[in-house]
């Protein structure tokens, strides 16, 4: 089979031919139909992600496909079941073996492309907004990086939860995508003054920050007293310093959120969140935005699009 592999952190990943894997105890073999890319994939190439696997490894954190085999002790999902898997690695390949406990059956009406970009993006935003920040209907939600893979789902979920969503993204095209997802207001991060424009709207009660850097600082300065700032990621490449005295004076909470961690310390919380999200999808209440689809031969181009921050929604590779 073909797989897109990282063999050294100072060498670009490459497409390689290798033997298909065999499922071990507790694992399922999945024929991979689609793999959603994430910013963390770029960090893994450089060895900078907190969960970077040991070399060599196959990129691709989340996949969708069909179960084709069971390892010892596995009773389900049944062979032939359409599943989505938060794999952590191994997704940019034609086949992969993954823990059966992570394979989640997907609705029959859900295309593989939607499923491959669903778990991390929607799961991150729903758990962050509902469980960590306790977003309430009528509150004002500022989303930084609002047209990106996770940011766009935060706009969509925030609007569904009844918040007044302010989308911040780069350029008119990206802001149009965010408005279509439910944003009530739009700020161009290149030309606009985030602090001034949000304050003119009444300030932010919750901030969803997948960008970091200067945008975090601007957002903190327009957060209302008792506001909550969700730290999701650092797409800007700059991790902000947080002045604790500002938090004290305004009674602001800064909340870290790593969706994958819930698999270790609170898996039921994650499972309940995903059940809610799949229910919303079945009702037609969620509309995943796939900004670009590439073949496995084009995996390097897909990652370049993500790295250049030129994509909207999810970038998906279809082996």
- Averaged pLDDT of the chain: 95
> What CA–CA distance (Å, rounded) separates 154 from 167?
10
Cα–Cα distance for residue pair 126/20, rounded to 1 Å: 35
Q: Which residues pair with 208 in a beta bridge?
A: 143, 230
- Calpha distance 33→104 (Å, rounded): 15
Tokens of 142: 């500022």
Q: Is the four-CA dihedral 103, 104, 109, 110 of positive or negative sign?
A: negative
Residue 183 dihedral angles phi and psi, to the nearest 5°: -70, 135
Q: Which residues of 67-102 are buried (b: 16+ CB within 10 A; e: fewer)?
A: bebbbeebeebeeebbbbbbbbbbbbbebbbbbbeb
The 10s digit of each residue's pLDDT in 128-157 is: 999 999 999 999 999 999 999 999 999 999
The answer for residues whose C-beta is within 8 angstroms of residue 54's C-beta and 6 or more apart is none
268-280 pLDDT per residue, tens? 999 899 999 999 9
Q: For residue 317, what pLDDT is reported?
A: 98
Element holding 104 (H helix, E strand):
strand 103-105
Q: Decide if pLDDT at 37 tops 90.
A: yes
Which run of H or of E encompasses 302? helix 299-307
**Residue range 155-160: mean pLDDT, rounded:** 98
Domains along the chain with CATH numbers: 2-118+288-318 (3.90.180.10), 120-259 (3.40.50.720)
User: What does 111-130 look like in DSSP terms, one character per residue?
Assistant: -HHHHHTTHHHHHHHHIIII
Letter string b/e over residues 230-269, b meaning 16 or more CB atoms within 10 A of that residue's CB: bbbbbbbeeebeeeeeebeeeebebeebebbebbeeeeee
- Answer whether residue 235 shows pLDDT above 90: no
What are the tens digits of pLDDT across the range 53-68? 999 999 999 999 999 9
Whether residue 237 has pLDDT greater than 90: no
Q: How far apart are CA 204 and CA 139, in angstroms?
A: 8
Given this model, what pLDDT does residue 54 score?
A: 95
Cα 267 to Cα 127: distance, rounded to the nearest angstrom: 12
Work out the burial of residue 41: count CB atoms within 10 Å of its CB; fewer than 13 is exposed, 13-18 middle, 19 or more buried. buried
Residue pair 63/82 in contact (Cβ under 8 Å)? The answer is no
Q: Which residue has the tokens 């770029």?
A: 42
Contact yes or no for 124/259 (Cβ under 8 A): yes
């Amino acid at each position: 089979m073909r797989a897109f592999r990282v063999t050294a952190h100072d060498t670009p990943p490459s497409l390689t031919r290798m033997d298909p894997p065999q499922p071990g105890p507790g694992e399922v073999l999945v024929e991979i139909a689609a793999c959603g890319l994430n910013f963390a994939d770029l960090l893994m190439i450089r060895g900078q992600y907190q969960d970077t696997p040991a070399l060599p490894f196959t990129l691709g954190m989340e996949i969708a496909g069909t179960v084709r085999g069971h390892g010892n002790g596995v009773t389900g999902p049944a062979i032939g079941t359409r599943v989505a898997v938060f794999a952590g690695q191994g997704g940019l390949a034609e086949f992969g073996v993954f823990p059966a406990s992570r394979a989640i059956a997907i609705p029959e009406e859900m295309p593989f492309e939607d499923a491959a970009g669903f778990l991390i993006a929607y799961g991150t935003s729903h758990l962050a907004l509902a469980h960590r920040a306790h977003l309430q209907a009528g509150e004002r939600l500022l989303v930084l990086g609002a047209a990106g893979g996770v940011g766009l789902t935060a706009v969509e979920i925030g609007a569904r939860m009844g918040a007044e969503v302010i989308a911040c993204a780069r350029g008119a095209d990206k802001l149009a995508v965010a408005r279509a997802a439910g944003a009530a207001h739009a700020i161009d991060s290149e030309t606009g003054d985030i602090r001034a424009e949000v304050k003119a709207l009444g300030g932010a009660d919750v901030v969803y920050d997948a960008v970091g850097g200067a945008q975090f600082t601007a957002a903190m300065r327009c957060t209302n007293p008792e506001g909550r700032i969700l730290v999701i990621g650092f797409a800007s490449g700059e991790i902000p310093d947080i002045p604790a005295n500002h938090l004290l004076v305004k009674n602001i909470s800064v909340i870290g959120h790593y969706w994958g961690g819930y698999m270790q310390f609170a898996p039921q919380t994650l499972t309940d969140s995903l059940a809610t999200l799949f229910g919303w999808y079945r009702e037609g209440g969620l509309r995943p935005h796939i900004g670009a689809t590439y073949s496995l031969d084009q995996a390097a181009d897909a990652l370049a699009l993500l790295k250049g921050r030129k994509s909207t929604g999810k970038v998906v590779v279809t082996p």
